[in-house]
């Protein structure tokens, strides 16, 4: 008699690590936009390892949990930070002077617009997760609005400052979100409130 056994593998929620990666890279990057630090050389490692790899890890593990929203969110922003890090490396001349001389920063502006579109529809999805995640996405919307305007030279200084404070806000709320994911799961109760979904769209 042949018996079939189904083995279910349970994956831990990777959101805490993904949000921590987002918090770290935006904290470091916002310090440069706010004028507290200068240059991007020491932002690049954090963009690659925390902004990209930590969120990519969360993306892959969310896909194993059949979480389309988490997979898309973490994956989309992981590749964003890889793209930004590579853009900075090109601009710094790491891949040669010819490539650096061919840079048109407005192409980054179009990339920021693309990510603004992406973030807007992800913000709608975040309304049915929790309010902490929704606030993070709203702040990311603000960041891309500021980055898009400043990159195209529209109200450059004001837009740049708007982007800087939005990015700092993302870091602060993401640290809280990461802590909530870890401690709520660890203690088996709502240690840090995240806010219930809005309950508007989801059946």
- The answer as to whether 61 is a domain residue is yes
Distance of CA 23 to the CA centre of its chain: 8
Whole-angstrom CA distances from 198 to 7, 83, 167 are 35, 33, 24
pLDDT higher than threshold 80 for residue 5: no
DSSP state of 192: S
How would you label 59-75 residue by residue, b for 16+ Cβ within 10 Å and e otherwise?
bebbbeeebeebbbbbb
Per-residue pLDDT of 161-192, as tens digits, reads: 999 999 999 999 999 999 999 999 999 999 99
| Alpha-carbon span 151 to 108, nearest angstrom | 7
Average pLDDT for residues 8-22, to the nearest whole number?
90
Q: Dihedral, CA atoms, 112, 114, 118, 123, nearest 10 degrees? A: 50
| Alpha-carbon span 164 to 189, nearest angstrom | 34
- The answer as to whether 202 is a domain residue is no
Domain membership of residue 60 as a residue range? 15-187
Per-residue pLDDT of 113-162, as tens digits, reads: 999 999 999 999 999 999 999 999 999 999 999 999 999 999 999 999 99
- The answer as to whether 65 is a domain residue is yes
| Alpha-carbon span 141 to 84, nearest angstrom | 17
pTM for the predicted model, two decimal places = 0.94
> What's the pLDDT band for 203 if we cut at 50, 70, 90?
confident
- Structural domain count of the chain: 1
- The answer as to whether 83 is a domain residue is yes
- The answer as to whether 201 is a domain residue is no
Alpha-helical runs (H) found in the chain? 15-33, 44-46, 55-64, 68-91, 97-101, 106-126, 131-151, 156-187
Which pLDDT score is estimated for 83?
A: 98
- The answer as to whether 95 is a domain residue is yes
pLDDT higher than threshold 60 for residue 1: no
- The answer as to whether 195 is a domain residue is no
| Alpha-carbon span 156 to 151, nearest angstrom | 7
Which pLDDT score is estimated for 192?
A: 98
Per-residue pLDDT of 46-101, as tens digits, reads: 999 999 999 999 999 999 999 999 999 999 999 999 999 999 999 999 999 999 99
As given in the structure block, the two tokens for residue 152 are: 């195209």
- The answer as to whether 194 is a domain residue is no
């Amino acid at each position: 008699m042949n018996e079939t056994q189904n083995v279910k593998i349970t994956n831990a929620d990777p959101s805490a690590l993904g949000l921590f990666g987002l918090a770290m890279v935006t904290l470091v990057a916002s310090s440069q936009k706010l004028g507290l630090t200068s240059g991007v050389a020491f932002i690049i490692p954090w963009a690659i390892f925390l902004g990209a790899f930590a969120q990519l890890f969360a993306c892959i593990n969310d896909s194993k949990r059949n979480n389309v929203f988490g997979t898309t969110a973490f994956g989309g922003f992981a590749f964003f930070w890889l793209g930004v890090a590579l853009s900075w490396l090109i601009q710094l001349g790491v891949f040669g002077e010819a490539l650096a001389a061919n840079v048109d920063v407005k192409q980054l502006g179009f990339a920021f617009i693309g990510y603004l579109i992406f973030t807007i529809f992800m913000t709608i999805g975040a309304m049915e997760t929790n309010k902490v995640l929704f606030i993070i996405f709203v702040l990311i919307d603000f960041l891309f609005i500021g980055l898009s305007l400043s990159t195209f030279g529209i109200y450059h200084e004001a837009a740049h400052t708007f982007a800087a404070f939005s990015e700092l806000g993302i870091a602060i709320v993401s640290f809280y979100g990461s802590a909530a994911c870890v401690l709520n799961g660890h203690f088996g109760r709502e240690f840090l409130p995240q806010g219930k979904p809005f309950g508007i769209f989801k059946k």
